């Protein structure tokens, strides 16, 4: 019931078990971070995102070993192969994520009002590195869950279209937990899930979606000081208030709940779909000696 003829965990069950363990890691990380942060929001988010990412890596390495009988390249198997082109895809993802966010914010500048307050001082400068680390780890943690091991095994079980729909809807619904969440923001989060899932499917790696995700959040929250899905903890450099109709600014939830945000996300989906991205190769795996001896024999017999 749970395994195939080779003793490997069935893809659908691998998806179910990994999603349950991912949710458990989420709550464990959140509780530990809350206790360690001493009621300081930034410190809580910092501890939570890093701890969640580390727990996810451990869970998926364990499942690849026990469930998939994989003994090597288990980080690459999660969608992070360091083969030719990986850095290029990550940098390109950062350029795309930052560029898309600039396009989403620009209409507020022209048709609304942006009031920015500079927050950065010399004593806060060391925190800048902590914010970058938090953004990198937070984006990677979400990519590991929503485009990594659970997504990859659900795709094997149901196909890419159904896997994208399931995880994009789940990604959108989880944003209901964010402050000031609304229906438009949830709909846009579902579209973002489709964008990032398509980026994975085009490259068969997490480098491109990770870059898009990281730069999107960094541009919106750190550079411009606007809320990221209703969260203000990333506003370290600047703090910006956006004034205008909700369809333009997204209200307190931010640009991700605006009509302009929808247009930009759809444009991003078209870009990822049409641009000539290459599928990254997985690193070569060693063939056991017994298997190497069997192959020539079987080919002669056939």
- Where do the domains of the chain lie? 83-279
Residues 52-62: pLDDT tens digits? 999 999 999 99
pLDDT at 129: 85
Cβ neighbours, 10 Å, residue 255: 25
Report the C-alpha gap between 223 and 234 in whole angstroms: 9
Q: What is the reported pLDDT for 7?
A: 85
Number of DSSP helices (H) and strands (E) in the chain, helices first: 12, 2
Q: What pLDDT does 300 receive?
A: 39
* Parts of the chain with a pLDDT under 50: 290-293, 295-302
For 261, how many CA atoms within 13 A lie in the half-sphere containing its CB? 25
Measured distance CA(90)–CA(280) in Å, rounded: 12
Helix (H, G, I), strand (E, B) or coil at 280: coil
Cα–Cα distance measured from residue 101 to residue 123, given in angstroms and rounded to the nearest whole number: 29
Residue 286, pLDDT score: 67
Structure-block tokens of residue 92: 């390109």
Measured distance CA(191)–CA(220) in Å, rounded: 17
Q: Whole-model pTM?
A: 0.92
CA distance 250 to 262: 11
pLDDT at site 284: 75
Return the closest-CA partner of residue 251 out of 110, 140, 108: 108
Angstrom CA distances, 42 to 7, 36, 37, 175, 210, stand at 45, 12, 8, 19, 22
Which residues are paired to 241 by β-bridges?
115
Helix 125-146 to helix 149-158 angle, to the nearest 10 degrees? Answer: 20
């Amino acid at each position: 019931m749970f395994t195939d003829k080779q003793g490997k965990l069935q893809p659908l069950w691998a998806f179910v078990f990994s999603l349950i363990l991912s949710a458990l890691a989420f709550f464990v990380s959140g509780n530990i971070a809350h206790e360690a942060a001493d009621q300081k929001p930034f410190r809580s988010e910092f501890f939570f995102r890093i701890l969640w990412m580390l727990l996810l890596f451990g869970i998926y390495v364990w499942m690849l070993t026990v469930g998939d009988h994989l003994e090597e390249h288990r980080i690459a198997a999660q969608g992070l192969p360091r083969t030719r082109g990986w850095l290029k895809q990550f940098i390109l993802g950062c350029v795309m994520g930052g560029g898309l966010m600039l396009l989403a914010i620009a209409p507020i500048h022209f048709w609304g009002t942006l009031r920015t307050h500079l927050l950065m001082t010399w004593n806060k400068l060391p925190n800048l590195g902590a914010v970058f680390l938090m953004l990198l780890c937070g984006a990677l943690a979400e990519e590991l869950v929503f485009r990594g091991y659970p997504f990859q095994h659900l795709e094997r079980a149901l196909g890419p279209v159904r896997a994208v729909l399931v995880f994009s809807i789940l990604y959108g619904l989880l944003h209901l937990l964010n402050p000031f969440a609304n229906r438009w923001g949830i709909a846009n989060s579902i579209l973002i899930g489709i964008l990032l899932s398509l980026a994975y499917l085009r490259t068969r790696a997490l480098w491109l979606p990770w870059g898009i995700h990281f730069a999107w959040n960094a541009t919106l929250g750190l550079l411009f000081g606007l809320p990221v899905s209703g969260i203000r903890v990333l506003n370290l450099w600047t703090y910006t208030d956006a004034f205008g109709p909700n369809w333009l600014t997204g209200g307190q939830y931010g640009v991700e709940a605006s009509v302009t945000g929808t247009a930009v996300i759809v444009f991003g989906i078209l870009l990822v779909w049409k641009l000539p991205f290459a599928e990254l190769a997985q690193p070569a795996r060693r063939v056991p000696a017994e298997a190497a001896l069997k192959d020539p024999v079987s080919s002669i017999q056939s």
